[in-house]
Amino acid sequence: MSIIKSAFRVLRFGSAKNQLFSLESKTCRAFSVCNKLRQDASDANASKINFYVDENKEKGYAILKLNKGPVNSLNLEFLTELNIQLEKFEESKEIKGVILTSSIPNIFSAGLDIMEMYQIKQDRGSQFWTALQETWIKLYGSNKIYIAAINGHSPAGGCLLSISCDYRIMSKGPYKIGLNETLLGIKAPFWFRDTMINTIGYRETEKALQLGKLYSSEEALAVNLVDELADSKDLITKAEEQMSKWCAIPTVARELTKSSMRRDTLSKLIAQREADTQSFIEFTQRDSIQKSLRMYLESLKKPKKSSA
């Protein structure tokens, strides 16, 4: 337990936090409505509402909806806000668990914001990486129950968020999830890799990481990268059903079991956070890595072909 506790005794970031209590939880499928929602998410982002929290203290859990348009990419400011919120959950006596999802249709999270790595500067890069380590330590090392309701694409850092949870339900649909870092010319950090190994096993992780494999939802279910699939409209209901089941387990026994399963993986990073940050900076500053990132960014920005 002391190792897990020490993980929480870490840097606290920033002071700004934007939180909105929202009761809406229905998923929309029509494209026009999706676009409207995505626009709303972008607008909300402009006014810095980067996530919504809906706490149900009676039932003992909260729903945390990522809302940083257009794709919930994880930058320093977003991670900082998330870390403050995760800490609040951890300290709450009423909240036993959190459903982690996204309010942006078809996107859970596009992973790390590539602009944090492209043309990286030492100071900002260090703060960014420290904040990301912090998010992982808080999520993976949490005593609370985290259930990921993966409502859309979840590559790389998005996948890391979901595999740091205790249970994953993914929407059926043309969505992809996985650690695709090699496709960006990047090696997945050891703690991404180890979290993946703990989820889908060594051999599957070895193949997946070398190939930068992005799994369809059905493939993800087949290798236990996700635990369950749901129709989009039922995703949150299913996550709530699962949460009720987990909340009914005796708390201390569940927490001790969880920490005993995750302690070694967490300790590895906690013991070498600064060295890991330095490796990230040195690795990312390499010309070859910058070139790969630039090409990847360009490929993302290419105008999309019309499907008509």
Which range of residues in 40-48, 69-77, 250-258, 263-271 is near ligand L6WJOLX4 by CB under 6 A?
69-77
248 touching ligand L6WJOLX4, by CB under 6 A: no
Helix, strand, or coil here: 97? strand
Which residue among the candidates 50, 75, 151, 180 is catalytic per the annotation?
180
- Rounded to whole angstroms, how far apart are CA atoms 267 and 129? 17
Alpha carbon of residue 111 to chain centroid: 7
| 72 noted as active-site residue | no
Residue 70: is the preceding peptide bond cis (ω within 30°)?
A: yes
Taking CB under 6 A as the criterion, the residue among 16, 33, 115, 295 binding ligand L6WJOLX4 is 115
Least gap, CB of 175 to ligand L6WJOLX4 (angstroms): 8
- Rounded to whole angstroms, how far apart are CA atoms 190 and 268? 9
Tell me, residue by residue from 259 to 298, as one string, x for binding to ligand L6WJOLX4 by CB under 6 A and - for no binding.
--------------------xx--xx--------------
Which range of residues in 6-14, 153-161, 256-264, 265-273 is near ligand L6WJOLX4 by CB under 6 A?
153-161
Whether 8 and 272 have beta carbons less than 8 Å apart is answered as no
Q: Which one, 187 or 238, has the nearer CB to ligand L6WJOLX4?
A: 187
Question: Considering CB under 6 A, how many residues would be counted as binding ligand L6WJOLX4?
Answer: 26
Which range of residues in 16-24, 103-111, 140-148, 233-241 is near ligand L6WJOLX4 by CB under 6 A?
103-111
Q: Which one, 73 or 205, has the nearer CB to ligand L6WJOLX4?
A: 73
| 255 noted as active-site residue | no
Q: How many CB atoms are closer than 10 A to CB 59?
A: 15
Q: How many CB atoms are closer than 10 A to CB 76?
A: 19
Taking CB under 6 A as the criterion, the residue among 113, 134, 166, 204 binding ligand L6WJOLX4 is 113
| 112 noted as active-site residue | yes
Which residue among the candidates 157, 158, 178, 212 is catalytic per the annotation?
157
Check the CA dihedral 270-129-262-94 and report its sign.
Answer: positive
**Bridge pairing between strands 176-178 and 215-216:** antiparallel
Torsion of CA 69, 71, 75, 80, to 10 degrees: 60
194 touching ligand L6WJOLX4, by CB under 6 A: no
**Bridge pairing between strands 167-171 and 215-216:** unpaired
| 56 noted as active-site residue | no
Q: What residue spans of 18-174 are helical by DSSP H?
A: 31-46, 76-91, 122-140, 157-163
70 touching ligand L6WJOLX4, by CB under 6 A: yes
Q: How many CB atoms are closer than 10 A to CB 187?
A: 14
Token readout for 82 is: 């998330």
Token readout for 194 is: 């180890």
157 touching ligand L6WJOLX4, by CB under 6 A: yes
Token readout for 146 is: 């985290």
Q: Which one, 126 or 237, has the nearer CB to ligand L6WJOLX4?
A: 126
> Which residues of this protein are in contact with ligand L6WJOLX4, per CB under 6 A?
70-71, 73, 107, 110-115, 153, 155-157, 180-181, 184, 186-187, 189, 279-280, 283-284, 300-301
Active site residues: 112, 157, 180-181
